[in-house]
Amino acid sequence: MPVTAARYPLALRVLHWLVALLVLLQLGLALVDVLGSQTAPEMAEAAIQGHISLGVLLLGLMLLRLVLRLWYATPPFPRQMRRGARWLART
């Protein structure tokens, strides 16, 4: 396993954007639940069930992403990045 890479591996990039899109979908489902609970309770119930299912999927994807992040090499930080920012980025 190399110590550094020129950019993040494709698997990590795909997972990153997949998780980002699913989080936006989560927000939309939560909004449907909150706004629809008074006017359309059936739709709100379906939205919250989808929200829960999607949350479990997101948890699995985030765990997979964490494992892959620990496994693959990552690009080095830019030289102009401050020491404190580097420390925060590693945590």
Closest CA relative to residue 69, chosen from 1, 3, 8 = 8
| DSSP assignment letter at 1 | -
**pLDDT averaged over 10-residue windows placed end to end, the chain, 91 residues:** 72 94 94 82 87 96 92 86 88 68
Where does residue 42 rank: exposed (0-12), middle (13-18), buried (19+ CB within 10 A)?
A: exposed
| pLDDT of 73 | 82
| pLDDT of 3 | 55
Answering whether pTM is above 0.85, one says: no
- For residue 29, give both structure tokens: 């489902």
